[in-house]
Structure 1
Amino acid sequence: MLTERLFQTDGLPPKDRFDCWRDHVSQTYTAEVESDHAGDFAASQRILDLGGVRLWTVEHPSMTLRRTQKLIQQSDPGLYHLSLPLTGTMSHSGPDHEAEYERYDLVLHDTSRPHLMRAITSDGEGTVSGTGLFVPRKQLPLPENAIDGLLMRRLSGHEGVGALLAQFLTQAARDSGSYRPDDGPRLGTVAVDLLSALLAHILDADSSLPPETHRHTLVLRIRAFVQQHLHDPQMTPCTIAAAHHISRSYLYRLFEREEESIAAWIRGQRLEHARRDLAQPTMRTTPIHTIAARWCFTHAADFTRAFRRAYGMSPREYRSFVHHPQ
């Protein structure tokens, strides 16, 4: 299971809940909170550790959160804060920008900048829920002045890379029990890659970016494309190159400077997804060869050898280890 921190007000007397929530927010985010539901504030927040990245989920009544210049001077963690509203609506306003966001809109803001966030339900009752990321600014491989133009803009989580990122956030939060603590940094890398690929796609400013940034954003877009097509046995270096209007040889050169070749990385991603399926309680009775085929391993012996090289045990041994620990 991923390392997590959980805060809930349910176990507290109703009159104390809002004060405890306000203290919690002040300690974790250094912001002021107001709500019309302070008399009985049922709220919860879960923060999952993904290495340097933190994945959060939250549920609470309508409220307003304010981060002022004075609070920033007191504490500035230097983070980008990505939000994905799941229920209710959200608005952000800053010195020179204001926008409203609906379900499955993604919004990015900077903890170093003053802002006001309102999260409300349609009727003022019930709860607002969402998920998102805290990402150190230095981990995004794009120029900060380019990212500035995307802060507090509505970024779609309904299609393309945005939908892939939204799906990743919700699924990782929902299935956190099927991962091990040492999976956290790897998941954090995936999250940063997807967010970077989304921002690079929206910027569409390749001609104005430095050559090294251009190369890296192209690699990010290719990784996002691969993640979307991992199930497809017809995905090859040729089809990947064609989808990005580059030659196969240039695709290989791009990945010469990465930790793995494109083929090795794809194989590793498919193995990792197969491993996660083997660890899923809901797939305990699914035949191993079915899971292997789902991730394009058509020969059982090849899958077993590759899995053993990657994880030190066979798929059958791994499933037994996960579901029947000694």
Structure 2
Amino acid sequence: MELLFDTAALPERDRAAAWMDTTARALVTTDCRLLDVARFRARLHTTALGAGRLSVMSYGPLRSRRTPGLIRRSDPEHYQVAVILSGRQRLEQAGNRALLHPGDMVFYDTSRAFDARVEPDETDESGSESLLLQFPRRLLPLAESDLARLLAVPLSGRQGIGRVMSRFLTELAAERHRCGPQDLARLGSTAIDLVVALLAHHLGDEHADEPSRSPREVLFLRVTTFVEQHLHHPELTPAAIARAHQISLRYLHRIFQEHGTSVGAYVRDRRMDRCRRDLSDPGLRHLPVQAIGARWGYPGPSEFSRAFRTATGLPPGRYRDLAHAAGGDGRRPFAPAPRPAPAPGR
């Protein structure tokens, strides 16, 4: 588990900005206001769990808001489940309001606006500590309309399935350094399965017999989520993907064939989508073209230029010029006219 943030070495004036920057990279973008700058202290540890991520957070009193504007600018489309270990928190989302104490759990959605507050406890003004599990929304097999009923609703972590979930995450956080990457990926799958059990329990018996996704469909979703999270690695090959999920290369190819594509084509298409988006973004105009290629898995400029030209019919620099001339805003990638089909016989 990597230590991403600690205020110990920061001056007071830099703490709010540093906290917002760190949580934006590790969790989700929010607008944060410290309630007591002079006494604010914060630490954040995080570790990858395959498609998910587990964070251990401690922080002083603050207000954190995720607005519709921030969602439009950046949304990882994740669900999050928090376990409150100490302190007192408030959360508002989707018309629900939760006052959370130690032992409580809460479920929320990065694609919806929320307002969260960490308040001083009557006996301890240091703030709050919590565990936070986040994972792609598409991995939950439950209907979004049903899940909306549980957003920002206090869920007990003191008994039943809630206690199982809470203790699992607590022990996982404590023992993570004894687990290898593949162990953590498998434990991440278990954590998401426990979230499904927890939420289905609170939704009621009418959802107990709902059909769930097949194991092969769940595996495909987890593999594609893994690909999305590792597009920046040049070594993201089909063999590496198969090893990370403890399956054979042949089985991996078969799963993608069932979805009308291949592993290599899927990785290539997703990388190109990210490159086109970044080349169209005025806010990234300062980055050299080769830097954008490198950030999405193309370490060499010639390799990136060749792959980009093959995919779009244009060199990346020309694509960028046309995108900005057309008013690209970085949210909807500019699409050039299709390449003309080759003449017969050529």
Compute the TM-score of the two structures, normalised by the length of structure 2: 0.58
Give the drift of 1:38.
Answer: 1.9
Give the drift of 1:95.
Answer: 5.0
Report what 1:53 is aligned to. Answer: 52
Give the drift of 1:173.
Answer: 0.7
Give the drift of 1:107.
Answer: 0.5
- The share of aligned pairs that are identical, in percent, is 32
Which segment drifts farther, 179-188 or 156-165? 179-188
Q: Contact 1:18/1:39 (CA < 8 Å) preserved in 2?
A: no
Report Cα offsets for 1:158-210 as digits up to 9, x if no partner.
11111000001111111111111221111101101111111111212436864
1:71 aligns with 2:55: no
Report what 1:23 is aligned to. Answer: 21
Q: Contact 2:71/2:111 (CA < 8 Å) preserved in 1?
A: yes
Amino acid of the residue matched to residue 200 of structure 2?
Answer: A
Give the drift of 1:14.
Answer: 3.5
- Following the alignment from structure 1 to structure 2, what is the Cα–Cα distance between the partners of residues 81 and 21? 19
1:107 aligns with 2:106: yes
Q: Contact 1:155/1:162 (CA < 8 Å) preserved in 2?
A: yes
Report Cα offsets for 1:241-274 as digits up to 9, x if no partner.
xxxxxxxxxxxxxxxxxx9xxxxxxxxxxxxxxx
Of 4, 7, 30 in structure 1, the residue corresponding to residue 5 of structure 2 is 7
Report what 2:135 is aligned to. Answer: 135
Report what 2:145 is aligned to. Answer: 145
Report what 1:269 is aligned to. Answer: none
Three-state SS of the structure 1 residue aligned to 2:15 is helix
Report what 1:96 is aligned to. Answer: 95
Report what 2:220 is aligned to. Answer: none
Report what 1:281 is aligned to. Answer: none
Amino acid of the residue matched to residue 53 of structure 1?
Answer: G
Report Cα offsets for 1:91-129 as digits up to 9, x if no partner.
111352212111111100111111100111214721310
- Following the alignment from structure 1 to structure 2, what is the Cα–Cα distance between the partners of residues 18 and 178? 33
Structure 2, unaligned runs of 5 or more: 216-245, 247-346
Q: Contact 1:52/1:185 (CA < 8 Å) preserved in 2?
A: yes
- Following the alignment from structure 1 to structure 2, what is the Cα–Cα distance between the partners of residues 60 and 140? 29
Give the drift of 1:40.
Answer: 4.6
Report what 1:157 is aligned to. Answer: 157
Structure 1, unaligned runs of 5 or more: 217-258, 260-326
Give the drift of 1:19.
Answer: 2.6
- Following the alignment from structure 2 to structure 1, what is the Cα–Cα distance between the partners of residues 40 and 14? 9
Cα gap change, 1:207 to 1:122, in 2 (>3 Å): closer
- Following the alignment from structure 2 to structure 1, what is the Cα–Cα distance between the partners of residues 68 and 199? 26
Q: Contact 1:89/1:103 (CA < 8 Å) preserved in 2?
A: yes
Give the drift of 1:52.
Answer: 0.7
Compute the TM-score of the two structures, normalised by the length of structure 1: 0.61
Q: Contact 2:94/2:148 (CA < 8 Å) preserved in 1?
A: no
Report what 1:167 is aligned to. Answer: 167
Cα gap change, 1:143 to 1:177, in 2 (>3 Å): same
Report Cα offsets for 1:225-246 as digits up to 9, x if no partner.
xxxxxxxxxxxxxxxxxxxxxx
When the two chains are superposed, the root-mean-square deviation of aligned CA atoms in Å is 2.3
Which segment drifts farther, 58-67 or 19-28? 19-28
**Which residues in structure 2 correspond to 1:1-326 (within 5 Å)?**
4-28=2-26, 29-123=28-122, 125-206=125-206, 210=210, 212-213=211-212
Three-state SS of the structure 2 residue aligned to 1:175 is helix
Report what 1:301 is aligned to. Answer: none
Which segment drifts farther, 4-13 or 40-49? 4-13
